[in-house]
Chain A
């Protein structure tokens, strides 16, 4: 046992010295993910607000202006232009200048005054589905509200009492994120994605480079066993990646105000396991790839799109075809995003995330085992 640790320690020291020799690369590896996270956390959001709206009022009556005021007053809608023709509306949509159009035909005021229904066309640009859905829902709600007001006014004028009608009233409660800030949802996920991409690429290249330089052969002659080699190679990078994760969690908490309601210990353990697992994946790639070129490209493919699309960062995973759901479990980012969200937002602890923790540990172990096997087979050839 002692000998094993000694051998591992020797390689770890060598790796650190290697790194120390190229300070620029080291800086890039440590600082870049942090910088990226800073920039993107600030930028990304799914919150829909200040929807650019174009208004066409062909009636120009008191009633129409009264109606339009609700849009101008709301922060959800931002009236960017008032036009006179439908052509202007078409053009505004074409050029992406407006996402919503309110068109009031002539005669609106008269219809209302005579006790009828005033027609309004609300046109929603469906090309951005999420905003479109939300805009649509808001418009419906806004109009319902307005109609309730009108009905109340009319009832008062008539002397009617409407309260005798039974109605259901929705009371909405939002759990975990009452202000519904999408950043709280996205940042824990973003952090995972960036680390996943950077770490997988890093290790994938390390071993292949070593092999290309011919030093791998030297190591294979030594009494160092394959498993020890793998573990030793991973440790320095684990340390660096972990530093990154720690910094990013801190930034998320204190700079962006993402609430950390759960157990920091669970998050820390999860992060460590995740980093190990991601690096293990990179290791597998390097063991599989015959050349440096292939390693690079393979690492890219495995790290990049799956991290963005299959981790649960932005696309809900319980809705996608089952086959793809299974595929998502092949990438460590998936587990970590879940842990991240449960701990940050839902106040979870070990009891809540233990399945993911176990999964990550098993994943890392599996990657190392398979890589060891493949390395052995390659050397035997």
Chain B
């Protein structure tokens, strides 16, 4: 291995990158733009559920009940249909996702000391919303009941369990704090893989790859020379994107900066390695492109970025561990939200390092064997 030749290769790569107009736009501008745009999408919290209220009672109690729903912050009253049959089209079109039906005679029933049923209709097609919506609704009603009892002057003090329910790590349960770090990783992955997967194919198609391998340049030198400039650029990208994301969305950070940077750097290496590997084994640019889409879709879906791994079937969960992004997300989310230090992050960091090692070894082997196909 000649350091001189490696330096030469790095110089060549930088020279070429400088002349690529799309590159800066792709590597820096687009990721930042995407982060900001999509950050708003993934940060969406389940609040302000569009709610329709069917008040068939028209009483003081029903008005009060509606007020507690409206005031909770979880429900946004959008319609007052006059009957249940008018409700159907609203939910069909998705204008409302929750409906409260207060039957006729509710106030009277309460006055007589009877149980008065309140209908809560949820749009089950979105199971998250329906679960959360019905949960909130039940809580609000329970609170309303307590108020009723208190105002009725009945003091009961039966023995009971006082469960103090506390949410640790991300007490507001705001998705921003976990999704933005995840989105940073996703955006990095996409831009790096896109660029790297074309890197070698370009040279194979123009014949310069073959030319280089007739010279004393060795496979390892070539790879290091290729990877280094991209790694440098990717690091710059990572810092820019992460800082912008954190500042723009005000994501709190309490973990160990070095742990996060190490994790991101290792993740970046695995992406560069995979993009390079795809580039090495593909004959044409189109093949490289298809291979990449093929790799990235499962990563988006199975890494836990959108769909929680815990909700996946037992058979699938081990598969998710084969995806580098899964581990990167653990490092990121734990750092941002739980303030984890190197200790608890040791396993995911080591796994990421292992991935990087394996992938680069594969790339070296692929280089040695396939250059002249």
Q: Which residue of A lies closest to B164 (CB)?
A: A121
Question: Chain B, 40-76, contact with A by CB distance < 8 Å: what is the 0/1 string?
Answer: 1110111110100000000000000100000000000
Min CB–CB distance A342 → chain B (angstroms)? 7
Question: Chain A, 119-147, contact with B by CB distance < 8 Å: what is the 0/1 string?
Answer: 11111111111111110111111011011
Q: Of A28, A129, A209, which is within 8 A of B170 by CB?
A: A129
When distances are taken between beta carbons in the complex, the residues of chain A under 8 Å from B297 are 36, 194, 197
Q: How far is the CA of A167 from the CA of B142 in the complex (A)?
A: 9
Q: Determine if B198 is an interface residue (Cβ-Cβ < 8 Å).
A: yes
Query: A146-B161, A173-B121 are contacts. A324–B40 as well, Cβ < 8 Å?
Result: yes
Query: A42-B316, A171-B120, A297-B194 are contacts. A180–B40 as well, Cβ < 8 Å?
Result: no
Total number of B residues with any Cβ neighbor in A under 8 Å: 119
When distances are taken between beta carbons in the complex, the residues of chain B under 8 Å from A318 are 50, 94
Q: How far is the CA of A165 from the CA of B155 in the complex (A)?
A: 12
**Which of the segments A54-62, A110-118, A249-257 contacts the partner chain?**
A110-118
Query: A32-B294, A46-B311 are contacts. A345–B337 as well, Cβ < 8 Å?
Result: no
Question: Chain B, 149-193, contact with A by CB distance < 8 Å: what is the 0/1 string?
Answer: 100101011111111111111111111011000000011001000
User: B310 contacts A294, CB within 8 Å?
Assistant: no
Min CB–CB distance B285 → chain A (angstroms)? 6
Q: Determine if B257 is an interface residue (Cβ-Cβ < 8 Å).
A: no
Q: Determine if B126 is an interface residue (Cβ-Cβ < 8 Å).
A: yes
User: A319 contacts B45, CB within 8 Å?
Assistant: yes
User: B123 contacts A176, CB within 8 Å?
Assistant: yes
Q: Which residue of A lies closest to B132 (CB)?
A: A133
Q: How far is the CA of A348 from the CA of B292 in the complex (A)?
A: 37
Identify which of residues 182-234 in chain A touch chain B, using a CB-to-CB cut-off of 8 Å: 182, 184-186, 190, 194, 197-198, 201, 205, 209
Q: How far is the CA of A93 from the CA of B330 in the complex (A)?
A: 12
Q: Of B119, B125, B301, which is within 8 A of A184 by CB?
A: B125
User: A43 contacts B127, CB within 8 Å?
Assistant: no
Identify which of residues 138-184 in chain A touch chain B, using a CB-to-CB cut-off of 8 Å: 138-141, 143-144, 146-147, 150-151, 154-155, 163-178, 180-182, 184
User: B290 contacts A151, CB within 8 Å?
Assistant: no
When distances are taken between beta carbons in the complex, the residues of chain B under 8 Å from A40 are 298, 301-302
User: B34 contacts A305, CB within 8 Å?
Assistant: yes
Interface of A (DSSP majority class) = helix
Q: Of B120, B132, B194, B298, which is within 8 A of A137 by CB?
A: B132
When distances are taken between beta carbons in the complex, the residues of chain B under 8 Å from A133 are 46, 132, 135, 173
User: B334 contacts A94, CB within 8 Å?
Assistant: yes
Min CB–CB distance B156 → chain A (angstroms)? 7
When distances are taken between beta carbons in the complex, the residues of chain A under 8 Å from B316 are 42-43
User: B174 contacts A324, CB within 8 Å?
Assistant: no
Interface centre among B119, B171, B306 (most CB of A within 10 A): B306
**Which of the segments A265-273, A306-314, A370-378 contacts the partner chain?**
A306-314
Interface centre among A163, A319, A327 (most CB of B within 10 A): A319
Q: How far is the CA of A275 from the CA of B97 in the complex (A)?
A: 29
Q: Determine if A47 is an interface residue (Cβ-Cβ < 8 Å).
A: yes
Query: A43-B312, A151-B156, A296-B194 are contacts. A127–B144 as well, Cβ < 8 Å?
Result: no
Question: Chain B, 81-118, contact with A by CB distance < 8 Å: what is the 0/1 string?
Answer: 00000000001111000000000001001111111111
Question: Chain A, 72-102, contact with B by CB distance < 8 Å: what is the 0/1 string?
Answer: 0000000000000000000101111001000
User: A93 contacts B166, CB within 8 Å?
Assistant: no
Q: Which residue of A lies closest to B291 (CB)?
A: A28
User: A48 contacts B164, CB within 8 Å?
Assistant: no
Q: Determine if A45 is an interface residue (Cβ-Cβ < 8 Å).
A: yes
Q: Of A45, A137, A176, which is within 8 A of B125 by CB?
A: A176
Min CB–CB distance B310 → chain A (angstroms)? 7
Q: Of B42, B129, B170, which is within 8 A of A132 by CB?
A: B170
Query: A124-B166, A151-B156 are contacts. A43–B313 as well, Cβ < 8 Å?
Result: yes
When distances are taken between beta carbons in the complex, the residues of chain A under 8 Å from B167 are 123-126, 132, 136
Min CB–CB distance B274 → chain A (angstroms)? 15
| Chain A contacts to B: CB under 8 angstroms | 28, 32, 36, 39-40, 42-52, 67, 91, 93-96, 99, 111-113, 115-134, 136-141, 143-144, 146-147, 150-151, 154-155, 163-178, 180-182, 184-186, 190, 194, 197-198, 201, 205, 209, 292-294, 296-297, 299-301, 303-305, 308-310, 314-321, 324, 327, 338, 341-342, 345-346, 348, 352
